[in-house]
Each structure stands twice: as C-alpha cells, then as structure tokens.
Homo-oligomer: A and B are copies of this chain.
C-alpha cells in the first residue's frame, strides 16, 4: 500500500470566546494530535489558507501557529510536498504506534450480548483454512478468468457512471440485470420466473439469511440435510429455528425420514443439484416427494443451487423450482462459483406472492445491493462471454476432476472411496479406515495441502470421515503431487 499523505485534517476545536488566543489553540490542537499518534510522521498538513477556511478564522493565527510548530520541530517543510509532520520526532513524543490506539481503552461492568450468539463458538482458527494450497474448496480457476474482457466492461461502465447510477437504487437490484438472470434461469435451469421475482443479494449466504428472516419464526423446525454446509445451518440457528437433521442417501435427502422425524417442519433446506458436501444429485422421484410434502403441509423448500452450472454428465435434471406447481420453492443462486467469490453477488428467486415481504426485510437488512458490478455482469452475460466462460470451465473442471479421480484410484484406492456424482468443483472422498479426518487435515495444512475434513459437516454424530477436495483451483499438474502427499499423510496415521 502506498503511504501517501491523506490530507485529512485533525480535529481542532476553536473557541473564540476562550481566553486562550486562537494561534495557541491551533498550536495545542496539532501538538495533541501528534502526541496522541493521530497524525503520523510524514503526513501532509493542509496549507494555512485551507486550514483558515476550514476553521473559519483569519489566516494570521494559523500562520503564527505553523511557524511555532515548525520552529519546535513538530512540522517540517518539504520542497514540492508542502508542510508535513516531522519525520524525526523523538519516540517519547509520539506515544506508541497509531495501531495501538484501540488498546488504550479498558472497561468495567457487564458486557451483555445476544444469547443466540453463544451458539457460535469464538472463531477457532481452522488450520486447513490457511494457505492457498492444492484442494482448496470454493476456489475457481482464476488464471482462466477472462480478465481482459472483464476489464473492458468495467472501464466502459465506469465511464458511463452518472447521477442515476450513483444514487440509492432499487432494493431488488438492477432491472436489466434481473431480466438477464431470469432469461438465463428459464433457459439453462428450467425455472418458472420473471425479473419481478428476482432479488439480487450479496451472495447465497445472504440469500439464505433473508429467506430465513422472511419465512421463519423462532422455534420453527427446519429440515437440514445431514451432513450439510455449516454456515447454512448457522443461518437457521441464528434465526432461532430448531434443526431437524435428515439423512442423505444415494438419492439425496430422504423425504421419508424427514416426514418421520418432523412432518410439520416449516421448511426444508436442500442442495438437490449437487448435495453439499456429499455430492449426490437428488433423484427425480425424491424431488416430487419433497414437493408433495411441502404442498401437503404448507411448508417451504429452500433450494440452494450453488454450483449446478458444472455438470459433467449428459443428463441434467430440472431445478426443484421448475418442477414446483404450488410456488413453494425459494431458489438461491450465486456468481461465486461461475465468476469469482469476492464479487459477493447472488440472487433469490421468490414466489410472486412473497416478493413484497422479501423487499421489506431486505430494506431493513442493508437497503439493497451495490450497483456497479450488476451492470458489468449483465453485459458479460448478454454479450455471450458468460456462456463461453462456462463452457470453457466445464471442460477444464471435468478434466481436473477426471485426473483427480483416476489419480486417487491409482494411489489411494484402498484408503479412499470417491463419493457423489460428476459435477461441481469439489470431490467428496470417504476414508475407508476409522481415522480422524481433522487430524490429517491439520497435518496437511502444515504442508500446504488444503484438506477440508468431512466430519465437521455433520451436525450430529458423523457417520463418515473423509475430505472435501476442491479441484476448481487445482491444476492437473498439481494433482499427482498433492495426492501423493495425502497418501504419505495417511500412511503415517
């Protein structure tokens, strides 16, 4: 980061009625800001003219104060850079580094926080989340991203920015962007929707959060796939819901088991295209069973379709939303996997009669999505770059997945069982021996291998241990060394 002077004025209180002369007040103000570390050595000071205007005083007291601060060595003059805070101040004058400023405050008395936050333990530093090694989950093939095309679109939209695009905007998101998404979803995912049902959100996590706030009361029961993504569970737990853990088998969530456990659950959260983490695709008959249950009990189905774009077989299955004839499905999608995660953009497809409720809650939550990249992505999609990118990535990820599966077959056949269908950007594998996946993951992290253990995805007792291996950001040539390293780790256990 370039540490150029920011030109921000320190807070200098001027009181015309005080007995202390103005130049002295200005001198004291600067001195205190320097001593407290609020102005740092080398930082540029505004000109006397600017400061006089800012403070609403004449220039004389400012000149006077500056002269004194220069004379005493608090300020120094630099050719071409005006006046700056002296870089040669003795350490005892500036009380510590500025970053220590926060630690000066202490406190006594109770520190009450919301009870539900205690459900979420202090963040443990999970060692496997550290580095950028092989098998990182949720990582896309960044070096294949069409950065040039993207940059041109960004530059074009930046030039086109105007008063309208800078204002508070539609809480649902840009209309043109929503039309584009609706068209895409109808075509590629068989959804029944138009743009009035699409709400742009900051990624699928916020989609779940808003959906839970709109639909669920504290105490309501929610079916969760077991195992499932921990941050999805957290959404419903933070909303005060009771989680009903429904087992996942080869056909996806077992609707029969769910009905036995809690027929009257208010909602079901599912990842039918590619179950996270186990990777199975929900069968057509299960889809109809799930929709029938929702219809009969008046429950909602929340469909998280986080990576459905990447299927490597020839038999796509229509989304639950597309099969639903009773407007019971809330569909969630994201650009994190098909573009990149730090965009933080996703969408909800909302049953038409609930749109107003969603807007009310959305407004309270954060008013609406940021504007700029919605337009960039809309053009990226409308001009065909998105389809082209998806096609290229589908070929690449299929290659990487194939290489990974065959390498595991060669090197680790007896130790690991490959799970799930040919889809997505992660490969779930189960350990055939009863050893701790967490422990192996910790050891792997020390060697820059990113092994996400499978057992923590179980909210109840883990019936399997293993790993979720991300292959999206792992190149074919990285795969064999990484698999061999994993074999070494497993041999040592």
Contacts and interface: CB of A to CB of B under 8 A. Distances in A.
A284 to B, nearest CB: 10
Contacts of A56: 313-314
17 contacts: A6-B183, A6-B382, A7-B387, A8-B183, A8-B390, A50-B391, A102-B352, A105-B351, A113-B214, A114-B214, A117-B213, A150-B161, A151-B158, A201-B366, A202-B367, A209-B364, A234-B364
Contacts of A317: 13
Nearest to A3: B382
- In the A-B complex, the 6 residue pairs with the smallest Cβ-Cβ separation, listed nearest first, are A7-B387, A56-B314, A342-B371, A206-B366, A110-B298, A166-B340
Contacts of A1: 176, 179-180, 378-379, 382
Given A38-B186, A314-B55, A316-B13, A345 B361 contact: no
B107 A13 contact: no
A168 interface: yes
Nearest to A390: B8
A27 to B, nearest CB: 16
A60 to B, nearest CB: 15
Contact of A2 (B57, B164, B194, B379): B379
A385 to B, nearest CB: 9
A166 B341 contact: yes
Q: Taking the full assembly, how many copies of this chain does it contain?
A: 2
A123 B1 CA distance: 45
A202 B105 contact: no
Contacts of A327: 105-107
Nearest to A122: B356
B163 A132 contact: yes
Interface string A1-26: 11111111111111110000000000
A195 interface: yes
Interface string A361-384: 101111111111100001101111
A279 interface: no
Contacts of A217: 114-116
A326 B356 CA distance: 42
Interface string A91-125: 00000001111111111111111111100111100
Interface string A313-338: 11111100000111110000000100
Given A167-B342, A205-B365, A327-B107, A102 B193 contact: yes
B106 A7 contact: no
Given A56-B314, A214-B113, A391-B54, A366 B382 contact: no
Nearest to A2: B382
Given A38-B186, A140-B166, 18 more contacts: A6-B383, A7-B388, A8-B387, A8-B390, A99-B182, A101-B182, A109-B298, A109-B326, A114-B217, A117-B213, A120-B361, A121-B360, A132-B167, A168-B336, A169-B342, A202-B370, A209-B366, A342-B371
A359 interface: yes
Contacts of A101: 182, 186, 192-194
